[in-house]
Chains A and B, each alone.
Chain A
């Protein structure tokens, strides 16, 4: 019986890297699935993998070199090779006639024979079809039902899950090209683009918005209407609010993966009336804190 070193064609002093290199070189040449017609390849391949399983394991190699174990019993668990199935009579989805498709085109008996054989085996999954769809920002947060018109005139109903992000790909199982035999249809893959909304920005599951308010709403407080992805809501601006004051509308953001929703953050921005306003000027002239300097706190 040849020693595992002889089988792999290496010296007994070979390094682990040399062993792997030698094994890969032989295994690539001998793998039964890469030699479907060579019955001897399987035996040789087994011999080579058994040798490598022994020598490739540092501990086993040490014990083998010390004479504690012999080369037997190192076989891998048996499994059947792809070649045992790929040539079988019944159709399977991997059957491929492209190696001889050109021979099938003629009218002779040989071509007829090939066509018959191909038909019996045709059993392949349909292709995945790729589509794109664009939706509004609000729809990306709340979810939506969309209908996609296909190039062939057909339609596809697409459910947009709440909280979808720009560029996300939705897979509709079985909505791709039809397959043949038992292959079944492929899937439809829909890349969804979210059209930006100038009012909203999204950060994770939260969204933010800048809301202009008047001087009197800032100073005296009041109720204002605020847009959210689910429509306008009324929000109370507290007395004495300022530019930069951020208010939170709970649960108006995108859904969290584990339940619940993100929030909408409303950042206030105080806006004075456009153009000169004589009444406002006259009032500020009489305001007793006209000399108030917001930069005194160190802000420049």
Chain B
């Protein structure tokens, strides 16, 4: 989706989006001329929104949380791969 569609779907202001991209909290696809956003970006924007708005987390805290959440997903993914591999290998 393009920037405008993203702003509508994620319910954020354009200045907020620019700041989030600058902080690398959001990383739009830049392989084409125009920034393009995925459903993952929208879901991530909702998470940032919840953290900032509902939980009162400040900007430094967002950095730390996103980094840890991403690491956690990395670990889950590696764990899942391992599980698949073990199931597939002969005992």
Binding site for B on A (CB under 8 A): 23-24, 27-28, 31, 33-34, 36-37, 79-88, 92-100, 110, 113-114, 116-118, 121, 124-125, 173-174, 179, 182-185
Contacts and interface: CB of A to CB of B under 8 A. Distances in A.
Given A81-B43, A87-B80, 6 more contacts: A34-B65, A34-B69, A85-B38, A99-B72, A179-B30, A184-B30
Contacts of B78: 97, 100, 113-114, 117-118
Contact of B81 (A33, A117, A183): A117
A86 B80 CA distance: 13
Question: Lowest 7 CB-CB distances: which A-B pairs, in order?
Answer: A184-B30, A99-B71, A96-B70, A85-B40, A93-B27, A86-B73, A82-B43
Interface residues of B, number: 34
Interface in B13-47: 24, 27, 29-31, 38-40, 42-44, 46-47
A96 B27 contact: no
B47 A117 contact: no
B73 A87 contact: yes
Contact of A96 (B56, B65, B71, B81): B71
A36 B73 contact: yes
Interface of B: 24, 27, 29-31, 38-40, 42-44, 46-47, 50, 54-56, 65-67, 69-78, 80-82, 85
Contacts of A81: 43, 46-47
B74 A36 contact: no
A28 B52 CA distance: 11
Nearest to A93: B27
26 contacts: A24-B55, A27-B50, A27-B54, A28-B55, A31-B50, A33-B69, A36-B69, A82-B40, A82-B43, A83-B73, A85-B38, A85-B39, A85-B43, A87-B77, A95-B74, A97-B78, A98-B74, A99-B74, A99-B75, A100-B74, A117-B77, A173-B30, A182-B29, A183-B27, A183-B30, A184-B29
B40 A86 contact: yes
A94 B45 CA distance: 13
A80 B38 CA distance: 12
Contacts of B56: 24
Contacts of A23: 54
Contacts of A173: 30
A192 to B, nearest CB: 18
Contacts of A125: 24, 27, 30
Nearest to A181: B31
A36 B44 contact: no
A76 to B, nearest CB: 10
Nearest to A88: B40
Contact of B72 (A36, A110, A183): A36
B31 A27 contact: no
Contacts of A85: 38-40, 43-44
Contacts of B54: 23-24, 27
